[in-house]
Chains A and B, each alone.
Chain A
Amino acid sequence: MTLDYLSVESILALDCGSTATQAMLIDRVETDYRLIARTEAPSTVEPPWNDLMASVRQAITQISEITGLPLMNRQGQIITPQQQSGGVDAVVVTTSASPPLRLLLAGVMRDISLDSARRAISNTYAVVEGLVSLGRKDGDTGSTNDDIQGQVELFLKLAPDAVVIVGGIDGGASRPVLQAAEAVAIGSFAMPQGDRPPIVYAGNSDLRTEVADIVGAEAELRAIDNVRPSLELENTGPLQAELEELYRQRKMGRLPGFGTLASWSSVPVLPTAKAHAYAIQYLSQLDEINVLGVDVGGATSTLASRVDGQLELAIRSDLGMSYNAARLLEEVPAESILRWLPFEIKLEEIEDILHNKAIHYRTIPQTREELLLEQAVAREILRLLLKGMMPRWSQETSRLYAGLLPKFHLIVGGGGVLANAPASGQAALMLLDALQPVGVTGLVLDKARLAAPLAAVAMLNPMAATQVAQRDGLHNIGTVVAPVGTAREGDTALTFKLDYDDGRSLEVEVAYGSLEVVPLAMGQTADLELRPTRRFDVGLGTRGQAGSTRVEGGVLGIIIDARGRPLPIAQDPAEQREKVQRWLWDMGS
């Protein structure tokens, strides 16, 4: 269907997650596009429903109840284009409800191609479940080419959705890559014919014919451009595109009800993480600023950034707040979660709660303790995402200090745990504790979870997306100032002066170790002058250098986070609990 975007006035945006499905109606009100209504229903991909469309229809019905506008006919089909009696001009869809592609990665140990492949994979809804690598024995997850039995067992045990072979630069050595292909071919051959996964070859381009001969006609081979054509050059795009295509075909396309949903959509259905990255790119390009977007979802968590013009995306399809809640404990000891809690709790109890959450994944914390526990889990998920992303930022000039975040002008928090935090201070503290921004950064929340759907809307009608984002989109928490440096607790870290537009002014000395919140209401602006002491840098690259900037207000206002970077954690658990309690109080939570 080809649509002239100027003729599209009403748009229904649908976002289908693994736990929640939301519907948003955007329409022109006089001259501008506005968000008319937004509803949410529990997702129905799993039994007893087994049909994505049940929750989609429920969310749309709620929109009709709110607006009085029928959007579906009696058969439950969407009415398009909009008519006098109801309907919408267009529908756009984003989804993260499918499980990720499960991959087996084959390559040559210590070959940088493996790192490049992992980077490409982390940009997609895929997880590496096993590694066939030459050169060493790799614990439980992989095997060497000398251990053929091990490789075959790995294939049969994992039954991967696809195999990715990488290795060698173009024109480089052939033998190790061909050995990797041999290993994959034998493993693939041991699987029943109908179950053999497609093999994606993204290694030395000169060897495509040989690799095709090795794999033979028994398995589907998809040869694409080398992920590492030379030592200096990384080319992750083709592999990423191929995996996205496989994800669409083998995962998204197999979601129960997806066919109907896709037939409603006026543009191709976008994976939510991809849409989220587009939204971050858009925000970054709008003012040419560095933007970081995080989204802690039910089954998947993502981090998208644009630093110095470079867009990066990291997806963890195995980390989230619902199905994958207990999965975090495989990577992070329960003690790490404790450091973010202001109360005592047994490690066993944390394990029990997370395992139950993974079973009853729709449940919501009712007690304050369980709420703070989920927020602590979110911090650790964000820490893991950050750990994976840090090496990718190493070359950026905005990265002022090794081991710390590059300088971001804006951080956008999304996903249920952040968007639904009962207090904005809790959401802000999750972002500050986990990400530890440096310098002066705006903090916003995607409370209505509009970012990804609006990116899909932009494919159809960029003006509608822009206007809704500006008027109904992001929820401004405030501006954080985080000096980098260390001192004795209580020593002055910086002095700041805030000149309000109404002529008032406020000057405060901030002690190292403290967290201060200075109100500056939403919609207001002020001039902020920062005078750090000689041990501290406020994001200007030089310690002791003063500077000033214009800041916007928000729900909280100006947050001066002088707790230190990296954030010091007290060795004594009781002391740390006290600190966390104080931080929560400071943030009004």
Chain B
Amino acid sequence: MYYPVSSRITALTTIRRERLLPAPGQVLVSTGEMVGPADVVARCQLPGAVQVLDVARILGIPRKRAARYVRKSVGDTVQVNELLASPRGLLGQIRKGCRSPVEGQVIEVRDGVILIESAATTLELQAHFRGKVQNVMPNRGVVIAVSGALIQGTWGSGGEAAGVLKMLVDNPQKPLRARAVDVSCHGTIVMGGRILDADVLEQAIEARVRGIIVGGAVASLRQNLEAVPFPVLLTEGFGTLPMSQPVFDLLQSNMGREALLSADTRTRRGARRPEVVIPLQDGQSTQEESSDILPMEVGVQVRALRAPYLGGVGTVVDLPEKPQEVESGARLPVAVVELHDGERVSIPLANLELIH
């Protein structure tokens, strides 16, 4: 039995997601409570950033001498602009002293260097999802249950955002063009078949969109995609790939609805998939999001992950017992897949992901 990787692309399911604090804190909601994306569900204190004051460099004097001018010790609290070190005598009259840029506490004084930990900051954790608090983990966070559509993508970056979905193309082949992103896109998550140039990203920043969802984008734009101030999600991957038809249809059918986009991706060390959740307030899902690892079987829906069928979606119609020779000359275990256009093709099992 072969267990492939899988992606969730489903119109209605119950999704459960953890929202966890980065440090122990206080949970502000109770089990059973309904929450919206902007609601704060938990709060914690984060230690302040460490500020380094290099007295020697600031005063323009040797390090050994600088150490003599430091007026603070470990544990002292300091205020913004408070004098921390200053030369005495004539030099003190010529050179300004060294002042604290932040409010905080001195954590180290060493060789004319002062480390100040600025005052702690409060982190407020938003629900991000619209749904019901299903479980509270004291001091840590909550599990929120959402009924709605779920689409897992291939790659994304830029964190999380919530916004109304706005499809800017009428078929999944069409690229997202800069001219299509106008003022009406403000505050929305815009969608298109693919991204071919950086102009559309600049226009999206200008229009202050909340996020972008496309099928593919050329890899040479990766740094641009990572630099935009909102999340971007690729449903298929890198290249001039269009969005696959089932994903396009599902997103288009939810135009105008609020969607929650989580774009951060990790392929290793705790892999994480980017995803879009579209809460359906009236949706009573009977289907729970499966955490089972499903086997490759005849009848399952799959998506091809490599050329020559990259992005192609279809149904497995046969699983030959013996490895078959493919175009490269290699003999590999394959599945026979009937693609959406009716063509039957052999694809190595390793190049298929299960869609469910």
A residues sitting closer than 8 Å to B (CB atoms) are 18, 42, 46-49, 99, 146-149, 152, 156, 182, 185-186, 189-190, 192, 299, 323, 326, 348-349, 351-356, 358-371, 420, 422-423
Contacts and interface: CB of A to CB of B under 8 A. Distances in A.
Contact of B326 (A149, A355, A358, A366): A366
A361 B267 contact: yes
Interface string B2-14: 0101100000000
B45 to A, nearest CB: 13
Nearest to A360: B305
B107 interface: yes
Given A46-B268, A364-B332, 12 more contacts: A148-B54, A182-B110, A189-B107, A190-B52, A352-B239, A356-B237, A356-B238, A356-B239, A356-B310, A359-B238, A365-B328, A366-B309
B348 A366 contact: yes
B232 to A, nearest CB: 14
Interface residues of B, number: 51
Interface string B75-105: 0000000000000000000000000000000
Contact of B307 (A147, A186, A323, A367): A367
Contact of B328 (A190, A353, A368): A368
13 contacts: A46-B268, A48-B293, A147-B54, A149-B54, A190-B50, A348-B218, A352-B240, A359-B238, A363-B350, A366-B326, A366-B327, A367-B328, A420-B330
Contact of B219 (A47, A48, A348): A348
A576 B226 CA distance: 36
Given A49-B293, A146-B57, A186-B108, A368 B350 contact: no
Given A48-B291, A363-B350, A364-B332, A186 B113 contact: yes
B47 interface: yes
The 4 closest A-B pairs by CB, nearest first: A422-B329, A352-B239, A371-B328, A351-B219
Given A99-B269, A364-B351, A355 B110 contact: no
A293 to B, nearest CB: 24
Contacts of B268: 18, 46, 99, 299, 323
Interface in B197-226: 218-220, 222
B347 interface: yes
B329 A189 contact: no
A360 B219 contact: no
B154 A359 contact: yes
Given A146-B57, A360-B306, A422-B329, A186 B351 contact: no
Interface in B296-346: 305-310, 326-332
B155 interface: yes
B178 interface: no
Nearest to B304: A366
B307 A364 contact: no
A51 to B, nearest CB: 11
B187 to A, nearest CB: 30
Interface string B32-70: 000000000000000100101010010000000000000
A186 B308 contact: no
A363 B108 contact: no
Contacts of A359: 154-155, 237-238, 265, 267
Contacts, number: 140
B115 interface: yes
Contacts of B47: 192
Given A46-B271, A356-B239, A363 B306 contact: yes
B106 to A, nearest CB: 12
Which of B154, B305, B353: most chain A CB closer than 10 A? B305
Contacts of A355: 155, 219, 222, 237-238
B347 to A, nearest CB: 7
A352 B220 CA distance: 8
A483 to B, nearest CB: 31
Nearest to B306: A363
Nearest to B107: A189
Contact of A422 (B218, B330, B348): B330
B57 A148 contact: yes
Nearest to A55: B3
A46 B265 CA distance: 13
Interface in B247-272: 265, 267-272
Contacts of B50: 152, 156, 190
A356 B153 CA distance: 13
Contact of B110 (A186, A348, A365, A422): A186
A370 B271 contact: no
Contacts of A365: 306, 328, 330
B111 interface: yes
A354 B219 CA distance: 9
Contact of A190 (B115, B330, B353): B115
A288 B347 CA distance: 47
Nearest to B1: A58
B267 to A, nearest CB: 6
B238 A367 contact: no
Nearest to B237: A356
Contacts of B326: 366
A370 B220 contact: no
A436 B111 CA distance: 53
Given A99-B268, A365-B306, A360 B237 contact: yes
A589 B158 CA distance: 45
For B47, B108, B237, B306, which residue has the most chain A Cβ atoms within 10 angstroms? B306
Contacts of A185: 110
A577 B327 CA distance: 20
A47 B271 CA distance: 6
A132 to B, nearest CB: 14
Contacts of A189: 107-108, 110, 115
A367 B351 CA distance: 12
Given A351-B219, A366-B307, A148 B330 contact: no
B308 A349 contact: no
A418 to B, nearest CB: 13
B177 to A, nearest CB: 19
A364 B219 contact: no
A149 B219 contact: no
A437 B113 CA distance: 54
A366 B351 contact: yes
A367 B327 contact: yes
A189 B109 CA distance: 10
Given A190-B52, A348-B218, A355-B222, A363 B293 contact: no
Contacts of B107: 189
Contacts of A354: 219
Nearest to A191: B50
Contacts of B307: 353, 366-367, 369-370
Nearest to B117: A190
A129 B52 CA distance: 22
A323 B271 CA distance: 11
A49 B111 CA distance: 50
A362 B327 contact: no
A394 B242 CA distance: 52
Given A186-B113, A323-B267, A420-B330, A366 B219 contact: no
Nearest to A356: B237
B150 to A, nearest CB: 15
Contact of A362 (B108, B331, B332, B350): B350
Contacts of A147: 54
B238 A149 contact: no
A46 B268 CA distance: 7
